[in-house]
Structure 1
Amino acid sequence: MQRDLKKQPLRGIVPPMATLLLDDTQLDTEGTSKLINHLLEGGVHGIFILGTTGECTNISYKLRRELISFTCKEVDGKVPVLVGVTDTSFHESLRLAGVGRDAGADAVVAAPPYYYGLGEKEVLTYFRKLADELPLPLYLYNMPSHTKTMLSRETVLELSEHPNILGLKDSSGQAVYFNSMLYAFRNRPGFSLLVGPEEMLASCVLMGGHGGVSGGANLFPKLYVDLYNAAETGNLSEVARLQELVMEISAEIYSRGSYGSSFLKGLKASMNVLGFGNGFLAFPLTAFEEQQIQEIKEKLPQLGAYRYSKTK
């Protein structure tokens, strides 16, 4: 069942689902099915595949198509499915969006094409043309650390006038930028403003944001759903308690080693320890070695978030 997200604006926790692989050529369908059920049981409000946490740039188009079809079938309309179509090729983005439409996805998400930095006019032209030709609604994805291009406040405001552009996922990590968006859209609640860095989730929702695309929800979905609900209802004591658990995950799981992909290595290793996938990362990324995995095995049971999940 495809939802009309123009009438039902996206809100809540929409995990960027990790892509579980057996190797570089095979999707782990058994593990993916288990992970999807885990997310749904945790109460998430949507699922976002083929984002940064989903290793979107490192897996083949064949695997991307398989993942889109498999995920939509497994979710079976229970929550919206968003498909990442970010690519250096405009036409490959359109092709992936077509796969999403045919599979029953609800929307697509796109960051600016990476490699070449784009000028403001080029960004506007690109996203307008993309939104015109896409078969599904579009959410903008601001990820300047990976794309070289920052979606300015003015650009987002202009693009938001397009009827097929429904919201923004901001992974810039800049609180001032996100707050400026909240102010700019204060009278337009139908345009969804979602934050990427989970460390910022509570504060952004308290200020009027609509939710988060939180990678840690792959591990403990109910923790992030509960934090969102606490912030959305203004339960500050509960926000403070749950925020501490989220920060503990960030400090103990995402910050091991000095890799640009440390967060992803830590996340996938932790998922493996919890029984979701084998920890494999698509080439050229590599999984943690045994010593680091052992450290995570020892650390996970000590995390407050781990104990929290066991009591819910």
Structure 2
Amino acid sequence: MKTKHTLPQPFKGIVPPMITPLKDETNLDIPGLERLINHIIEGGVHGLFILGTTGESTSLSYALRHELVARTCEIVDGRVPVLVGITDTAAIESLRLADTAEKKGASAVVAAPPYYFNLGQPELIEYYEYLVERLSLPLFLYNMPSHTKIIIEPDTVKTLSKYKGIVGLKDSSANNAYFNNVMNKMKGRSDFSLFVGPEEIMAETVLLGAHGGVNGGANMFPELYVKLFEAAEKGDVLTVKSLHGIVMEISSKLYSLGNFGSSYLKGIKAALNIMGICSDYMASPLHRFREAEREKIANNLEEIKSKMLNLKH
């Protein structure tokens, strides 16, 4: 087993949902993967999350998913905790991937609800019970209703938090009312980590007591998101306002081109490719940006980079 980083409780900070650098449908971009991981870690992040939505997990073959876990853990080599997404419609495949994660040195796994049958909350509780009883790694719940059709209700989060192996929640609903409700129900559990996915609301949720962000932009600009998190954790509202403004520039100028449901992901991959970090190939059914959009991304990236220079001073 490779060097492993044990999760603190609560786990806090910026945990980028890493994109998956691909050469084609069946091969990872290995040099790009190494450059990307080192780039992210050098930005001061607190962990790394692979095989989430931003990692195109559901579009990858099982062989690629297992290979990505092994190679990522090897490259990270214990420098930060590695969290592995094990979301699947088949629980047995989730457990197989979790087994690989444990053997290769990951620190935790992350599971959204199975996304085919529309489970009720009692069934959802039974599903997570089934997983946690068979897992050797800590488990984060992953609320992603836009993709799974299922909300992990605040009361369900509270019920599941009673299991020793369930240590936190990643919420990608972008629903502040939902997240505030969860925080209120969990206020007596300082050991249970609460993270948000959408970077546009990360700072405000941390100011209100959340533990951090799983923010896609930290693939490109990890230092920015770390500084924003640190400012929010300290209650430094002036710095939060300044840095949050740059995050919103990233959101509007890199994530919103064209009429694509996947514009956010296309934008991140195009930007990383333009930055010389890794390939922008996307697994089917998605496709990378064409030249017209790439040109816009390149121009917008230069504008954002000029603002990023102020972070160095």
Specify the TM-score bucket, using the shorter chain as the normaliser. over 0.9
Residues 280 and 288 of structure 2 are in contact (CA less than 8 Å); yes or no, is this contact kept in structure 1?
A: yes
Aligned partner of 1:302 in structure 2 is 303
For residue 85 of structure 1, report the CA deviation from its aligned partner. Answer: 0.2
Q: 1:117 to 1:84 in 2, by over 3 A?
A: same
- Aligned 1:58-69 pairs, distance under 5 A: 58-69=59-70
Secondary structure, aligned partner of 1:82 = strand
Residues 246 and 307 of structure 2 are in contact (CA less than 8 Å); yes or no, is this contact kept in structure 1?
A: no
Q: Which amino acid aligns with 1:59?
A: L
For residue 9 of structure 1, report the CA deviation from its aligned partner. Answer: 2.4
- Aligned 1:78-227 pairs, distance under 5 A: 78-227=79-228
For residue 310 of structure 1, report the CA deviation from its aligned partner. Answer: 7.6
For residue 278 of structure 1, report the CA deviation from its aligned partner. Answer: 2.0
Using the alignment, how far apart are the partners of 1:281 and 1:310 within structure 2? 32
For residue 129 of structure 1, report the CA deviation from its aligned partner. Answer: 0.8
Residues 194 and 212 of structure 1 are in contact (CA less than 8 Å); yes or no, is this contact kept in structure 2?
A: yes
Q: Which amino acid aligns with 1:112?
A: P
For residue 10 of structure 1, report the CA deviation from its aligned partner. Answer: 1.1
- Quick check: 1:244 aligned with 2:245? yes
Residues 223 and 309 of structure 1 are in contact (CA less than 8 Å); yes or no, is this contact kept in structure 2?
A: no
Unaligned runs of 5+ in 2: none
Using the alignment, how far apart are the partners of 1:125 and 1:306 within structure 2? 50
Secondary structure, aligned partner of 1:57 = helix
Residue-by-residue CA offset, 1:85-113 (whole Å, 9 max, x unaligned): 00000000000000000100000000000
Residues 144 and 172 of structure 1 are in contact (CA less than 8 Å); yes or no, is this contact kept in structure 2?
A: yes
For residue 307 of structure 1, report the CA deviation from its aligned partner. Answer: 3.4
Aligned partner of 2:266 in structure 1 is 265
Residues 200 and 251 of structure 2 are in contact (CA less than 8 Å); yes or no, is this contact kept in structure 1?
A: yes
Q: Output the TM-score relative to the length of structure 1.
A: 0.97
Using the alignment, how far apart are the partners of 1:241 and 1:100 within structure 2? 38
Using the alignment, how far apart are the partners of 1:311 and 1:254 within structure 2? 22
Residues 116 and 148 of structure 1 are in contact (CA less than 8 Å); yes or no, is this contact kept in structure 2?
A: no
Aligned partner of 1:40 in structure 2 is 41
Q: 1:307 to 1:108 in 2, by over 3 A?
A: same
Secondary structure, aligned partner of 2:265 = helix
Q: Output the TM-score relative to the length of structure 2.
A: 0.97
Residues 9 and 192 of structure 2 are in contact (CA less than 8 Å); yes or no, is this contact kept in structure 1?
A: no
Q: Which amino acid aligns with 1:271?
A: L
- Quick check: 1:290 aligned with 2:291? yes
Aligned partner of 1:22 in structure 2 is 23
Using the alignment, how far apart are the partners of 1:83 and 1:97 within structure 2? 8
Using the alignment, how far apart are the partners of 2:291 and 2:116 within structure 1? 33
Residues 224 and 311 of structure 2 are in contact (CA less than 8 Å); yes or no, is this contact kept in structure 1?
A: no
Secondary structure, aligned partner of 2:168 = strand
Q: Which amino acid aligns with 2:12?
A: R
Aligned partner of 2:276 in structure 1 is 275
Aligned partner of 2:56 in structure 1 is 55
Residues 118 and 149 of structure 2 are in contact (CA less than 8 Å); yes or no, is this contact kept in structure 1?
A: yes
For residue 311 of structure 1, report the CA deviation from its aligned partner. Answer: 5.5
Residues 19 and 50 of structure 2 are in contact (CA less than 8 Å); yes or no, is this contact kept in structure 1?
A: yes
Residues 5 and 79 of structure 2 are in contact (CA less than 8 Å); yes or no, is this contact kept in structure 1?
A: no
Using the alignment, how far apart are the partners of 1:239 and 1:270 within structure 2? 24
Aligned partner of 1:11 in structure 2 is 12
Using the alignment, how far apart are the partners of 1:266 and 1:50 within structure 2? 18
Identity of aligned residues (%): 53
Q: CA-atom RMSD, angstroms? A: 1.1
Structure 1 window deviating more from structure 2 (213-222 vs 292-301): it is: 292-301
Q: Which amino acid aligns with 1:49?
A: I
Residues 46 and 80 of structure 1 are in contact (CA less than 8 Å); yes or no, is this contact kept in structure 2?
A: yes
Using the alignment, how far apart are the partners of 1:176 and 1:87 within structure 2? 27
Using the alignment, how far apart are the partners of 1:169 and 1:311 within structure 2? 28
Using the alignment, how far apart are the partners of 2:293 and 2:117 within structure 1? 35
Unaligned runs of 5+ in 1: none
